[in-house]
Amino acid sequence: PGLSEQDNRDTVGFSVVPPDTNGDIGFDAAGARVYVQYINSVWGVFDVTGNLIAGPFAGNSFWTGFGGFCETNNDGDPVVLYDDHAGQWFFSQFSVLEGVQCVAVSTSSNPLGPYHRYAFLVTPGGNNDYPKLGVWDDGTTSSVGQSAYTFTLRDFGGAGGSFSVSAGVMERDAMLVGAPAQFIKFINPCTAGDCVEGQLPPHMDGPQAPADTCPTFWTAVDSAYDDSPHANDGYRNHTLCVDWSNTNNSTYTEGPLVVAGSNFDRFLGNGFSDCISPVQGGEVLDCLAAFTMFRAQYRWFGDNARVVLNTTVDAGGDRAGIRWAEVRSADGDSGWFLQQDGTYAPDDGLERWMGSIAQDQDGNIALGYSVTGADLFPSVRYTTRTPGDPPGTMAGGEVSCHEGTGAQTASSNRWGDYSSMSVDPSDDCTFWY
């Protein structure tokens, strides 16, 4: 069943909305497969049959004895990742009012620690909202290599002005061994309403990218909604190349828009809330249609790279559906083009949103999401496709993970901010949502 609001009350003494559900599958110190879940404001370790084997712990317990805001505050917006190639766990949450991003990297494959711990002042003089993070590994250890932990932020205040969206990287090789680590951040200031809202960092599954391949950041664009300079719907890509020996030499450049196969519409509610309605027995829920949804999964196939993306859209009649896409590049960091895309919204009157998507080593794709309607409590389902299915379709049908048994009635319409679809490193084939 995963961690619950009761776990929050028992562990930290209060309830939290939204839960910000995410987790990852990896290994423990004995080499056994475990799933680590990290939600607002607790985390725990499960075995692969669903038994809680450690926790729940307070979200800020990673920084006990570390001092400062990371130890004192338990603000949430957490992310947990298993760094497949290093065999180490990565944990992060914000200390939002101080503009600090707290990071803990396990010293081994044991998610229970000990940890190398960091407090990065990512938004001086402001607030670092909605941090999203990923693993990037190009197989290098040199200062000009691109090994990094990638991140994006919604900055309120600070150098970017009243609001901006930022993309950056943390010095992964140093963090894996507990050495002093650098980070670099590029700010996308809002220009004529264009804020590059909803940008996601890349997260790598499977083989390493070719040496010196720079990470590419992704943003879904509805040309009629997002105030972008692009006249077509599609996917913006910004490439960040870092020079760890002289970070002033680092670059962040926008590439050509990857144009969608057909237009999509992100006009749902106000783009954030008041958009998932009606819900059986409960209140209207938020949809976060303005955001590209975690994660932007990158995978190298030896002769091409693939990134899968998803965002919530209006599938017609103000009914939420999920627009998903697969983009490709021959060299892994340039010349991106659309391989396929589609909107998953079966004609049954139900709303589908809050998706997360991933691809395995054989090119199979899984998309998990929430679903609800006038006669359906909010529930969790998924759909799939294989490489042989018609392009742009999720031909695997809809499968239920969990059918809801109730509805929220007084949560300020908050449902969640993100979820996570992961691929098991033990076989690079099994999906965990």
- Would the pTM of this model clear 0.95, i.e. be above it? yes
Residue 142 pLDDT exceeds 80: no
For residue range 216-255, list pLDDT tens digits in order. 999 999 999 999 999 999 999 999 999 999 999 999 999 9
**Whole-angstrom Cα Rg for the chain:** 20
How is 168-235 classified by DSSP, letter by letter? EEE-HHHHHHT----EEEEEEE-BTTB--TT-B-EEE-SSPPPTTPPPEEEEEE-TTTS--S-SS-EE
3-state SS, residue 246: coil
* pLDDT tens sequence across 157-191: 999 999 999 999 999 999 999 999 999 999 999 99
Question: What is the arithmetic mean of pLDDT over 122-133?
Answer: 98
CA distance 318 to 265: 10
Backbone angles phi, psi at 175, to 5 degrees: -70, -30
* 270: pLDDT strictly greater than 80: yes
Q: Cβ contacts of residue 53 below 8 Å, gap of 6+?
A: 34, 45, 46, 47
Distance of alpha carbon 120 from alpha carbon 377, whole angstroms: 40
| Angle in degrees, CA 149, 151, 157, rounded to 5 | 140
The proportion of the chain whose per-residue pLDDT surpasses 90, expressed as a percent, equals 95
Task: Look at residue 150 and give its three-state secondary structure.
Answer: strand
Per residue in 348-381, pLDDT (tens digit) is 999 999 999 999 999 999 999 999 999 999 999 9
How many whole angstroms separate alpha carbon 425 and alpha carbon 258?
30
**63-77, 91-105, 142-156, 388-402 — which is least confidently predicted?**
142-156
CB 40 within 8 Å of CB 33: no
Alpha-carbon distance of 61 to 117, in angstroms, equals 11
DSSP assigned state of 243 = -
Distance of CA 110 to the CA centre of its chain: 23
